[in-house]
Amino acid sequence: MPNAVVAAYGLSIGGPDGARETLEEFWRHISSAGQLYSPVRSLLWETWPQGSGPDLDFSPTFFLFQAMTHVFSPYQINPFNLNPLKSVLSEVIDFDRLARCNRAPRLFLSATNVRTGKIKVFENDAMSVDVVLASACLPHLFHAVEIDGEHYWDGGFMGNPAIFPLIYNRGSKDVILVHINPIERKKLPKTAAQIFNRVDEIRFNSSLMREMRAVAFVTKLIDDNVLDRGKYTACLFIQSETTRRWPSSELRPSSIQIGTSCVASAIAAAQRRAGGWTPISTRSGNRRRSIWPRSFFSY
């Protein structure tokens, strides 16, 4: 979620060039903060064979920190609620300006209400440092974020991402999903790190799968003329991920068309100033058009 807010702010103050510069500034600050505050450190024998970062499957410091988070809560490990991301966001983004700017892309940041278990969607006029922190608050690492008397955790538990604001609030006919957590894995996870990672993938995909099933069901009702086409509009979903397509056994009625495209990583864009969205085209009804031309996202 921070990437979306940073990109939106950059676009609002300087167009595509402003977005590139703001993303680069943000990730350089994140890199510096990570080197200073990260509890997971590379030991010498972990890095010298491959000349890069450690393999977390065999990182002693990673396993030690992971074990600590399963025994001690962030309220015990971090009683002063220190969060380097808060200072980075405050330094890079003028949230008051973002909330007032009409040129900024519409933002829908989701967070999970700890008390009720319901999703809360924040839009541009409510954007703040705390909203961004709440949308990315993993409960075993950070204190719950308090906003207007309610406490919130990561929005991925209830919407990863939340699709309904795009359909109901703005009536979007095309939705692009940038999917970073694979639904399927060919190999059985066997190491502790692989198992924990796979559990997180399944958990964070579950809310998206439920919402997509609901969209598929409503779309089928529209195609079968059970629902009035004058009141309801079918959406075309384009999935972008680096791994694979949606499984053919899941959510694939003929009324939902799903394709793939290449997506430039925001981190890679900040580091290499290269890549971007590859133009793709698709059909929706009797119309054919290009989705997100490369010139708009010319990183």
pLDDT, tens only, 119-150: 999 999 999 999 999 999 999 999 999 999 99
What tens digit of pLDDT does each residue of 247-279 get?
333 333 322 323 222 223 333 333 333 333 333
In this prediction, residues 191-199 reach a mean pLDDT of 85
Taking the CA atoms of 46, 3, 1 and 203 in sequence, report the sign of the dihedral they define: negative
pTM score above 0.75:
no
* Both structure tokens of 254: 């003929």
In DSSP terms, which residues pair with 281 in a beta bridge? Answer: 290
Higher model confidence: residue 211 or residue 281?
211
**Strand, helix or coil at 46?**
helix
Q: Are 85 and 2 in contact (CB under 8 A)?
A: yes
How far is 157 from 141, CA to CA, in rounded Å? Answer: 15
